[in-house]
């Protein structure tokens, strides 16, 4: 039976996500991560280098599991906010990972500002389009 390194890597990342959400870097144990993933702990070092690099990899994946997994709808911002809230209620691990990230890696990762900039740009374009339409269709003032 051949080994699937991508599947092993995914199992390690999933197990690490749960471990870091529960304990942060300082409290996380590579033994527990390896056991939860069903692999030898040596594979953590093979795939990720060390526990800190594994934590950073988990943080890189977090936006995709969090707000980025909820479709952004510039036409329904209240609905989008509600959808994010509902999603995070079903994923308390994401809510626990965020404070650990702020405590243990307080600087912003490259993904956070990019995601905020993209959404802000979409909102600005939508506002601009609405303003143009309102000017076009507004009755003349006398």
69: DSSP letter: G
d(CA 21, CA 28): 9
Residues in the chain predicted with pLDDT less than 70, given as ranges, are 1-3, 67, 108-113, 115, 130-142
Predicted pLDDT of residue 133: 55
d(CA 29, CA 34): 9
Predicted pLDDT of residue 1: 35
Predicted pLDDT of residue 110: 59
Burial class (CB in 10 A: 0-12, 13-18, 19+), 36: middle
């Amino acid at each position: 039976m051949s080994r699937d390194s991508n599947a092993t890597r995914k199992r390690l990342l999933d197990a690490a996500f749960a471990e870091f959400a529960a304990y942060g870097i300082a409290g996380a144990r590579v033994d527990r991560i390896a056991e939860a993933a069903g692999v030898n702990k040596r594979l953590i070092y093979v795939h990720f280098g060390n526990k800190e690099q594994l934590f950073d990899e988990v943080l890189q994946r977090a936006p995709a599991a969090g707000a980025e997994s909820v479709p952004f709808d510039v036409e329904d911002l209240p609905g989008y906010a509600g959808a994010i809230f509902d999603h995070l209620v079903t994923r308390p691990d994401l809510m626990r990972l965020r404070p650990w990230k702020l405590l243990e890696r307080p600087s912003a990762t490259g993904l956070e500002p990019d995601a905020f900039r993209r959404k802000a740009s979409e909102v600005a374009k939508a506002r601009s389009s609405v303003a143009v339409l309102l000017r076009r269709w507004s009755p003349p003032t006398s």
